[in-house]
Amino acid sequence: MSTTQQTIFSSYDKDPKFFDEIFDEKGNVKEVYQTLFDLYSGHSSQDFAKLNDKAKASFFNQGITFQVYTDQEAKEKIFPFDLFPRIIDHKEWETIERGVLQRSKALNHFIWDIYHDKKIIKQGIIPLDLITSSANYLQQMIGIDPPGGIYNHISGTDLIKHADGKYYVLEDNIRCPSGVSYVICNRTALKRALFGVFNHYNAHTVTDYAQNLLEIMESVKPRGVDEPNCVVITPGVYNSAYYEHSYLAKSMGVELVEGRDLFVENDFVYMQTIKGPERVDVIYRRIDDAFLDPLEFRPDSALGVPGLFSAYKKGNVCLVNAPGTGFADDKAVYTYMPEIIKYYLGEEPILNNVHTYHCSRPDELKYVLENVDKLVIKPVDEAGGYGISIGNRLTKEEIEKVKKTIQASPRKYIAQPIMSLSVHATYIEESESFESRHVDLRTFCLLGADKEFVLKGGLTRVALKKGNLIVNSSQGGGSKDTWVLKK
Amino acid sequence: MEYTIKYKAVNTYDAPVDEAFWQFLLRPEENETQRVRLSKFSNSINAAVDASTNTFGFPICRVHLKKAVERISFEANYIISKKHSNPFSALDSVVNPVHTQLLNSLDFKIEYERFLGETSLTTLNREALPFKFSDSHSIFDNLNELNAWIYKNFEFKTRVTDVTITPSEFLAQGAGVCQDFTHLFLTIARLHQIPARYTSGYLHQGNGYKGDSQMHAWAECYIPEKGWLGFDPANNLIALENHIKVAHGRDYADCAPIKGIIYSNSEKNETNYVVEVQAREESEPDVFMDFEVSEPLPFAQQLAFQSQWQQQQYQQQQQLRQQQNPLDSSEL
B192 and B216, same domain (yes or no): yes
- Degrees (nearest 5) of the Cα angle A357, A362, A364? 25
Q: What is the pTM of this model?
A: 0.88
Euclidean distance between CA atoms A460 and A422, whole angstroms: 11
Predicted confidence (pLDDT) per residue in A414-423, tens digit: 888 888 889 9
- Position B63 scores a pLDDT of 94
B152 and B268, same domain (yes or no): no
> Is residue B102 in some structural domain?
yes
B259 and B130, same domain (yes or no): no
> Is residue B171 in some structural domain?
yes
B107 and B201, same domain (yes or no): yes
Q: Tell me which CATH code domain A355-417 carries.
A: 3.30.1490.270
* Residue ranges of chain A whose pLDDT lies below 50: 1-6, 384
Dihedral over alpha carbons A270, A271, A272, A273 (to 10 degrees): -130
Contacts of A305 (CB under 8 A, 6+ apart): A233, A259, A262, A263, A264, A269, A292, A293
Euclidean distance between CA atoms B31 and B229, whole angstroms: 13
- Interfacial residues of B (vs A; Cβ cutoff 8 Å): 21, 23, 48, 50-55, 62, 64, 106-107, 109-110, 113-114, 117, 250, 259, 261, 309, 311, 317-318, 320-322, 325-332
**Domain region containing B229:** 87-240
| Residue ending a domain, choose from B187, B211, B240 | B240
Instruction: Give the residue ranges of DSSP H helices in B104-250.
Output: 106-111, 139-153, 167-173, 178-191
Euclidean distance between CA atoms B227 and B272, whole angstroms: 37
Question: Is ipTM beyond 0.90?
Answer: no
Instruction: Give the residue ranges of DSSP H helices in B209-256.
Output: 252-255
Question: Shortest Cα distance from A144 to chain B (angstroms)?
Answer: 10
Predicted confidence (pLDDT) per residue in B188-208, tens digit: 999 999 999 999 999 999 888
- Position B96 scores a pLDDT of 87
> Is residue B306 in some structural domain?
yes
B20 and B105, same domain (yes or no): no
Predicted confidence (pLDDT) per residue in A425-454, tens digit: 999 888 888 999 999 999 999 999 999 999
B149 and B219, same domain (yes or no): yes
- Position B112 scores a pLDDT of 96
> Is residue B330 in some structural domain?
no
B105: left (phi over 0), alpha (psi -120 to 50) or beta: beta
B71 and B132, same domain (yes or no): no
User: Which positions in chain A touch B114 (Cβ < 8 Å)?
Assistant: 139, 142
Q: How far is CA A146 from the centre of its chain?
A: 23
User: Which positions in chain A touch B107 (Cβ < 8 Å)?
Assistant: 122
B97 and B223, same domain (yes or no): yes
Say if the Cβ atoms of B109 and A128 lie within 8 Å: yes
| Residue ending a domain, choose from B213, B240, B267 | B240
Euclidean distance between CA atoms A41 and A5, whole angstroms: 5
Say if the Cβ atoms of B326 and A290 lie within 8 Å: yes
- Position A256 scores a pLDDT of 98
B150 and B259, same domain (yes or no): no
Closest A-chain CA to B114:
A139
| Residue ending a domain, choose from B212, B240, B268 | B240
User: Which positions in chain A touch B162 (Cβ < 8 Å)?
Assistant: none
B54 and B168, same domain (yes or no): no
> Is residue B143 in some structural domain?
yes
- Position A268 scores a pLDDT of 97
Instruction: Tell me which residue in B54, B110, B327 faces A240 most closely, judged by beta carbons.
Output: B327
Euclidean distance between CA atoms B164 and B180, whole angstroms: 9
How far, in Å, are B71, B81, B187 from residue B299 at the CA level?
A: 8, 30, 41
Determine the residue among B19, B291, B328 to mutate to test chain A binding: the one whose Cβ has the most chain A Cβ atoms within 10 Å: B328
Provide the domain count of chain B: 2
> Is residue B247 in some structural domain?
no
Euclidean distance between CA atoms A70 and A73, whole angstroms: 5
User: Which positions in chain B touch A122 (Cβ < 8 Å)?
Assistant: 106-107, 110
How far, in Å, are A126, B50, B247 from residue B30 at the CA level?
A: 38, 20, 10
Euclidean distance between CA atoms A400 and A394, whole angstroms: 10
- Position A74 scores a pLDDT of 65
Instruction: Tell me which residue in B64, B261, B332 faces A472 most closely, judged by beta carbons.
Output: B332
Give the containing element (helix H, strand E) for A309. Answer: helix A308-313
> Is residue B70 in some structural domain?
yes
Euclidean distance between CA atoms A353 and A96, whole angstroms: 13
- Position A343 scores a pLDDT of 98
> Is residue B332 in some structural domain?
no
Residue B23: give its domain's CATH number. 2.60.40.2250
Instruction: Tell me which residue in A140, A182, A294 faces B261 most closely, judged by beta carbons.
Output: A294
Return per-residue pLDDT of chain B as tens, 332 residues.
899 999 999 999 888 888 899 999 999 999 989 999 999 999 999 999 999 999 999 999 999 988 889 999 999 999 999 988 776 656 677 888 899 999 999 999 999 999 999 999 999 988 889 999 999 999 999 999 999 999 999 999 988 878 788 999 999 999 999 999 999 999 999 999 999 999 999 999 988 899 888 899 999 999 998 899 999 999 999 999 999 999 999 999 999 999 988 887 777 788 888 999 999 875 544 444 443 333 333 332 222 222 222 333 333 333 344 443 333 333 34
- Position A71 scores a pLDDT of 55
Q: How far is CA A345 from the centre of its chain?
A: 23
B138 and B232, same domain (yes or no): yes
Residue B183: give its domain's CATH number. 3.10.620.30
B8 and B31, same domain (yes or no): yes
